[in-house]
Amino acid sequence: MTKTTGSRAGKSSGRGQRDLRVRVKTAKGRKLSSKLWLERQLNDPYVARAKREGYRGRAAFKILELDDKYRFLLPGARVVDLGCAPGGWCQVAVQRVNALGEKPGKAVGRVVGVDLQEVDPIAGAEIHQLDFLSEGADEAVKQWLGGPADVVMSDMAAASSGHKGTDHLRIVALVEAAAALAFDVLEPGGTFVAKVLAGGAESEMQAMLKRNFTRVVNVKPPASRSDSSEKFVVATGFRGRSAEAEDDPRLA
């Protein structure tokens, strides 16, 4: 059950309008953490905007804001979204790369989403249930795309253990695995985008990306909650598979 706080109906607050922030009563049996999460969701403008604009979650605005700044989802681009559930990033990619051919005179792109779980269909995207760590995943992705990718993106996060240091190490390992697949499927000049958590253990991962891309930046888009330690790495200008092979001959 919800209620609004602030001035009563018919009266204005000192800011000239009623405080419409929703407060959630703590029902019997409901954990405080659940109450706080629900309250945050009800008051999050990005959640409301996602519902209004038809996106499957507020995370869609993170990739929108990143692309507005770095312009990697271009018409005609081939995009793979790793860990794509629930599908908000795929929805944005479909629009931006013109996967449905709705922009006359613009090249038509392709979007492939992969996830361990089943994902509801998305118009303009090809969704596959796949463990991207499995053998042959890179070849499967390129086959679905019809060639190498222009963009590999990942909003994946490892299941929380409740221990900040452990969670940080897990997500760094996940980003490294996603980057390894990106090295196998990206076209030279391509882009890799992934979520990471601030924590200080990602220096080796950052160094690896800098060897393989001409530019690597770390950014926290406005849609990322201020109380979250997440940030996003955007690596552009993939140098090609031979760059990493210079450091490890096994990859040649």
Amino acid at position 202, single letter: E
For 17, the token pair is: 């309008």
Known active-site residue 195: yes
Count each helix (H run) and each strand (E run) in the chain, helices first.
8, 9
37 labelled ligand-binding: no
- Which residues on adjacent β-strands are paired with residue 230? 197
Residue showing tokens 């190498």: 148
With H, G, I as helix, E, B as strand and everything else as coil, classify residue 238: strand
Q: Burial code of 90-107, b = ≥16 C-beta within 10 A, e = fewer?
A: bbbbbbbbbbeeeeeeee
131 labelled ligand-binding: yes
* Cα end-to-end distance, the chain, whole Å: 61
| Count of alpha carbons within 13 angstroms of residue 48, beta-carbon side | 8
89 labelled ligand-binding: yes
Which of 31, 106, 195, 231 is labelled catalytic?
Answer: 195
Closest C-alpha among 204, 231, 236, 209 to residue 218: 231
Residues of the binding site for S-adenosyl-L-methionine? 87, 89, 115, 131, 155
Which residues are part of the catalytic machinery? 195
